[in-house]
A and B are shown apart, each in its own frame.
Chain A
Amino acid sequence: MLDACCLMPDNRFLEVTELPPRVIVDKCDGCKAEKEPLCEQICPGDLMTLSEKTGKAYCRYTRDCWDCMSCVKICPQGALETRLSYQLGYYPAKLIPMMGTNRITWTSIAMDGTVERFVVPTRNEE
């Protein structure tokens, strides 16, 4: 299951649950038009970077992620997903932000499949 794993620079696959910022490799295009991928530009911990071998983004040390979701919010392909480490939260809950101009629509999916949606304003209307 390729899209459930992260392809590391040495072509090794890591298990999903090791990865707080999980890269969905089918969706990631490495932001080819940019000098470096947007997730790499924005990450406050300098953790996201591009694999020269695969042309896809990856997180170099997943344990150092703060779960701030800056990379998830900025990814134009929706190719990033924040996961908590399994030791702290059970599989397979999800939290997905859809970025709008003046709002974020968040979808929370609990481990039992319960879906909640929240629309949160982020900027006053012009």
Chain B
Amino acid sequence: MASKLPTSLEEIQTVMVETDVLVIGGGNSGCFAAIEAKKQNAKLKVTIMEKAHIDRSGCLAAGMDAINTYIKKGRTIEEFVRWSRSQAGGLIREDLTKSLAEVLNEPTEEWERWGLPIKHDEETDEYVTRGKWDITIRGSEMKVILAEKVREFGVEVLNRVVATGYLMDGERVIGAMGFGVRDGRFYAIRAKATIVSTGGAAGIYKPYQADSVDSHHQLWYCPFNVGSGYAMGIRAGAEMTTFEMRWCATRTKDFNGPIDTISVGYNAPMINGKGERILQKHYAHLGGEAAPRYIRANVPMEEWREGRGPTFVDTREMTPEQVRDMKIDYLNERPSYVLHLAARNHDPSKEPLEVYGNDPYIVGGHTASGYWVDVSRETTLPNLFASGDVAGGCPNKFVGGAAAEGMLAARSAAKRASETASAGSLSDQQLAAEMVRIFAPAFRQAAEGDGVTPREMEERMQRLMDEYAGGVHQFFRMNREGLEYALKNVRILKDQTRYLIARDLHELMECHEVIDRLDVAEVLLHHLMYREETRWPGWQTRTDFPERNDEKFDCFVNSRRDPATGQVQVFTRPYEQLIPGDRMKP
């Protein structure tokens, strides 16, 4: 039962927590980070700050049917880096990817020891594989299993506490602040080392499924991952990278469900309305069925634009047993897709499954968007480490990689915490300012009773981004004039956040979700404007610069918002190739 929303500063109770390692966001990556910190040094106090409940928070809420990055016997780390590089159009941080690959298999094998069912080949006892880097799991309850281990390792878990900003001592991060969405209290958690693992950002763009009000969250990516970790870093002046490499993918139409389950798992090719095998017929020069992810992602949109839609994955060659296995895969990841099939009497062995693009997300586990980190996973803000979807430069991490990166960040953070005598000094002024910023929508509701609801503001932002910044309704296409219009209006919205009102603690959380999304959207627009070329059609399509421009843009586009002025500076960082070969080829 939620407490009452405070209506004045005097009513607010403060909870002060002292810890050694703070993990912000208890999803897959954060839970693995917390356990690893305890494994490194059991004497350290480790605290997870989680806005939901760690048993079901983040991307694994409904489960997962595959680990899409597992280095199987006979495959090498170099091969993995080359593959990931080619899938990302030649732009990754090879140092980060290589260090991730070195530990990539550890979490999956640990999960299995903890009880996660993974299929083994009866003859070789190796994992049963699906595609080049994928293994099939029965992951419906994998997050519950992981959360049990977090508790067993003695990690302190603060469920239902929303993080809103970092505690700073000069340039150094010394923890985080936030509020309890159940108890209505202000939280200040001081830590010797902090790991941010809050996930990526959904809900920046309008989804096409949003029929008036009834299906606003029919998203592929977890709709409760709103980019808060990015936003906290942006506000504190952290360097960010490659936001313009958006994650748009081919998804099951209307449901927005994963498609690799079918296309990789069961070799079902994409076909268009004319029955043509699209990749073979129109994209043979780019690799055909093995074309990079962004090419495959953009296929349905191009077919519709060319008048050859709708688009499907052709499941008609599947046997009834395969259809049944496919349904079990979905029950382990997005069970309601089986309900979606049932609600259309859809037999995939008789009719192909329709596919379409999704609303774009900013997700560093799939593309390279996020914090600019070093190999130890430390961000440009000292003592702040990043892992999982919030960490940039290292795409194609997926579930196994996000977990492995949590482990890497925790090894560095535990070492830092063990070597640090005192976290740093708290400033009362900083605490007071954040408290006012957090509860302002509640105070406005109490004082004025009129203003802007978080929902209204979210929908205005999502429509702007969709229509002027390359959303799904614009077939992912954009130009400078549209981006400038979106930026002008996002700035108006950011100014109008002072009119936000909240009637309860849930709405207060929604207010901060839209505030955070606006900070992400602003930086995203700067990145999209800066890259005056088209490097990844679909992920980033500039109609005014339709070609790739290697002379100017074969590099990382990074940004930093100056905390003093609010100005966003955009600049480039050179590409560093460690593993030789054509970067566009696996």
Query: Residues of A with Cβ closer than 8 Å to B?
Result: 18, 35-36, 41-46, 49-50, 60, 62-70, 82, 84-91, 93-95, 97, 104, 106, 108-112, 114, 116, 118, 120-124
Among B5-13, B189-197, B328-336, the one that faces the other chain is B328-336
Identify 27 residue pairs between A and B in the complex whose beta-carbon atoms are under 8 Å apart, listed by A's number: A42-B55, A44-B53, A44-B57, A44-B58, A45-B224, A63-B213, A64-B223, A66-B222, A66-B223, A67-B335, A68-B62, A69-B335, A85-B218, A86-B214, A88-B211, A89-B339, A94-B342, A95-B336, A104-B141, A106-B331, A110-B343, A118-B327, A118-B328, A120-B332, A122-B138, A122-B140, A123-B117
Q: Is B145 an interface residue (CB 8 A)?
A: yes
Q: Are A84 and B340 in contact (CB under 8 A)?
A: yes
Q: Is B254 an interface residue (CB 8 A)?
A: yes
Q: A44-B222, A66-B61 are in contact. Are A93 and B343 (CB under 8 A)?
A: yes
Q: Is B116 an interface residue (CB 8 A)?
A: yes
Q: How far is the CA of A48 from the CA of B512 in the complex (A)?
A: 19
* Residues in A whose Cβ lies below 8 Å from that of B62: 66-70
* Residues in B whose Cβ lies below 8 Å from that of A41: 53
Q: Are A66 and B224 in contact (CB under 8 A)?
A: yes
- Give A69 Cβ to nearest chain B Cβ, in Å: 5
Q: Is B416 an interface residue (CB 8 A)?
A: no
* Residues in B whose Cβ lies below 8 Å from that of A43: 52-53, 56
Q: Are B213 and A90 in contact (CB under 8 A)?
A: no
* Residues in A whose Cβ lies below 8 Å from that of B215: 63, 84-85, 87-88
Q: Are A42 and B56 in contact (CB under 8 A)?
A: yes
Query: Residues of B with Cβ closer than 8 Å to A?
Result: 1-2, 51-53, 55-58, 61-62, 112, 115-117, 138, 140-141, 145, 160, 181-182, 209, 211, 213-219, 222-224, 254-255, 324, 327-328, 331-332, 334-336, 338-345, 506, 509
* Residues in A whose Cβ lies below 8 Å from that of B509: 46
Q: Are B138 and A121 in contact (CB under 8 A)?
A: yes
* Residues in B whose Cβ lies below 8 Å from that of A123: 115-117, 141, 145
* Residues in A whose Cβ lies below 8 Å from that of B341: 108, 110
- Give B319 Cβ to nearest chain A Cβ, in Å: 16
Give the residue of B55, B115, B223, B342 whose beta carbon is less than 8 angstroms from that of A110: B342
Q: How far is the CA of A75 from the CA of B502 in the complex (A)?
A: 29
Give the residue of B1, B115, B216 whose beta carbon is less than 8 angstroms from that of A50: B1
* Residues in A whose Cβ lies below 8 Å from that of B506: 46, 49, 60
Q: How far is the CA of A18 from the CA of B53 in the complex (A)?
A: 26
Q: A45-B223, A63-B213 are in contact. Are A70 and B339 (CB under 8 A)?
A: no
Q: A44-B56, A44-B224, A70-B61 are in contact. Are A63 and B342 (CB under 8 A)?
A: no
Which 8 residue pairs spanning A and B have beta carbons closest together?
Answer: A89-B343, A93-B343, A67-B336, A68-B62, A95-B339, A93-B342, A68-B61, A87-B211
- Give B216 Cβ to nearest chain A Cβ, in Å: 4
Q: Are A89 and B331 in contact (CB under 8 A)?
A: no
Q: How far is the CA of A82 from the CA of B215 in the complex (A)?
A: 13
* Residues in B whose Cβ lies below 8 Å from that of A18: 214
- Give B117 Cβ to nearest chain A Cβ, in Å: 5
- Give B106 Cβ to nearest chain A Cβ, in Å: 18
- Give B20 Cβ to nearest chain A Cβ, in Å: 27
- Give A66 Cβ to nearest chain B Cβ, in Å: 5
Q: Are A97 and B335 in contact (CB under 8 A)?
A: yes
- Give A84 Cβ to nearest chain B Cβ, in Å: 6
Q: A36-B1, A122-B117 are in contact. Are A95 and B335 (CB under 8 A)?
A: yes
Q: Are B336 and A85 in contact (CB under 8 A)?
A: no
The chain A residue sitting closest to B506, CB to CB, is A46
* Residues in A whose Cβ lies below 8 Å from that of B160: 46
- Give B63 Cβ to nearest chain A Cβ, in Å: 8
* Residues in B whose Cβ lies below 8 Å from that of A109: 342
- Give B171 Cβ to nearest chain A Cβ, in Å: 34
Q: A41-B53, A111-B344 are in contact. Are A94 and B339 (CB under 8 A)?
A: yes
The chain B residue sitting closest to A91, CB to CB, is B343
Q: Are B140 and A84 in contact (CB under 8 A)?
A: no
* Residues in B whose Cβ lies below 8 Å from that of A68: 56, 61-62
- Give A90 Cβ to nearest chain B Cβ, in Å: 5
- Give A74 Cβ to nearest chain B Cβ, in Å: 8
Q: How far is the CA of A18 from the CA of B213 in the complex (A)?
A: 9
Q: How far is the CA of A118 from the CA of B339 in the complex (A)?
A: 13
- Give A109 Cβ to nearest chain B Cβ, in Å: 6
Q: How far is the CA of A84 from the CA of B337 in the complex (A)?
A: 9
Q: Taking A44-B52, A50-B1, A93-B342 as given, write out 6 further A-B residue pairs in contact, using a Cβ cutoff of 8 Å, ordered by the A residue number.
A: A64-B216, A66-B61, A66-B62, A84-B218, A85-B211, A116-B327
Q: Are B331 and A66 in contact (CB under 8 A)?
A: no
* Residues in B whose Cβ lies below 8 Å from that of A42: 53, 55-56
Q: Are A89 and B345 in contact (CB under 8 A)?
A: no
- Give B118 Cβ to nearest chain A Cβ, in Å: 9
Q: How far is the CA of A68 from the CA of B53 in the complex (A)?
A: 14
Q: How far is the CA of A64 from the CA of B209 in the complex (A)?
A: 12
* Residues in A whose Cβ lies below 8 Å from that of B141: 104, 122-123
Q: How far is the CA of A87 from the CA of B1 in the complex (A)?
A: 32
Q: A66-B223, A122-B117 are in contact. Are A84 and B339 (CB under 8 A)?
A: yes
Q: How far is the CA of A89 from the CA of B337 in the complex (A)?
A: 10
Q: A43-B52, A123-B145 are in contact. Are A111 and B343 (CB under 8 A)?
A: yes
Q: A43-B52, A88-B255 are in contact. Are A108 and B344 (CB under 8 A)?
A: no
Q: A82-B339, A120-B328 are in contact. Are A87 and B214 (CB under 8 A)?
A: yes
